[in-house]
Amino acid sequence: MSPVMRKRQKPLTDELWELIEPLLPPLAQRRDKRGPKASPEPGLFRGHFVDSANGCGMAFSAGRVSRALNLLEATASMGGRRRQVRRLGPAPTKPCADYAQLLKTVRTGHDHRVVSLWTVNLQEMVDSVPVWYHEFEFAPGLVTPGSGNSRALLTRINLPRDMSGLRVLDIGARDGFFSFECERRGAAEVVPIDYVPAERTGFPVAKKILGSKLNLLHENIYNLTPGKYGQFDIVLFLGVLYHLPDPMHALDIIFSMMKSPGWLFLETIVIDDELPPNMARHPWMRFYPGDTKNSDHTNYWGMTEACVAALLEEYDLSLISKNREGERGVFVATKKVASKNYYTEIARDLVR
């Protein structure tokens, strides 16, 4: 270790730094005899080990975080005995999604000093996205400024806890909150699509932070076919229906994309509170011309709960549950039959 770094890290023992230093990339601020300054390895985020008594620290990349943390914890449990720690061998790499574990405080066992691990540029990564739609909590207190409460909606739609073996289609995935959640729950395959390209969403940043393998496909619902993407056990259709000029065509396509049996999770604008109770019981739709709904030209339709239920029934989708909070309604339905009924089939084709 360089004399400069030894002096800066003096409150921590040399033995501890002998354990840590081989795991860390060269510092961007550090010059040595080999030449110009080196940059830290690219990683999920950067952070520091800090001694609370002195406030000094050392930068590292996320690629080395898990092993360093494991060794520190092992050092603490063994009273800092280096020889026993090294017998443990390479520490397993923790999933990137376990970022909360990387932020915890551990005791080193050396004079009960506290070594803290925290992120430096997670906030910079979040700020690099001009507009967030979904609300992620990437670290305690670090929440993306999404326009919708994604975590509350996740509770309301009540997805299966174990999605092992299931194929999931996420229509209008945008920043990917629900796609990543399905991946976390063990889905065999998740296909997120949005008509906005990935680089104009928070998806790439969230993917990097969470260590996901998913890719956002630049696709429109009206272009989906089973021949192109196959069929799915679960279709997520959250916050999309009211943006579509032809909602019945969209449900026709969704029916084709679902396996039988299959599940549809739908969330949309409902207008029951705008109507007298005797009218709200009927299947009404309200058209929003121009930008009359929330100054947004992409908002076309508001529907009563009865209207959404009737539309689902028209496409042989059985309503299992529904719930409403204000003007947002959640509907869960299953596919009843394998093929479309005769009338919805001929509506967009020819009578033979």
Q: Kindly report the CATH number that applies to the domain delimited by 124-346.
A: 3.40.50.150
pLDDT beyond 60 at 179: yes
Span 293-305, mean pLDDT? 96
Span 204-224, mean pLDDT? 95
* pLDDT computed for residue 54 by the predictor: 34
Note the pLDDT tens digit of each residue in 47-74: 333 333 333 333 333 444 444 445 444 4
* pLDDT computed for residue 12 by the predictor: 42
Q: Can you point out the beta strands (E) in 174-327? A: 189-194, 217-218, 232-238, 258-269, 285-287, 301-303, 317-325
133: CB partners within 8 A, 6+ apart? 146, 147, 148, 174, 175, 201, 202
pTM over 0.75: no
pLDDT class for 344, splitting at 50, 70, 90? Answer: confident
HSE-up (13 A, CA, CB side) for residue 331: 27
* pLDDT computed for residue 18 by the predictor: 52
The CATH 3.40.50.150 portion of the chain extends over: 124-346
Span 168-195, mean pLDDT? 98
Residue-averaged pLDDT of the chain: 75
Note the pLDDT tens digit of each residue in 125-160: 899 999 999 999 987 788 999 988 999 999 999 999
* pLDDT computed for residue 255 by the predictor: 96
* pLDDT computed for residue 39 by the predictor: 37
Note the pLDDT tens digit of each residue in 9-46: 333 445 544 544 444 444 333 334 444 443 333 333 33
Note the pLDDT tens digit of each residue in 307-334: 999 999 999 999 999 999 999 999 999 9
Note the pLDDT tens digit of each residue in 222-269: 999 999 999 999 999 999 999 999 999 999 999 999 999 999 999 999
* pLDDT computed for residue 93 by the predictor: 36
Here the tokens at position 106 are 């551990």
How many angstroms separate the Cα of 39 from the Cα of each of 16, 25, 29, 30? 23, 8, 8, 9
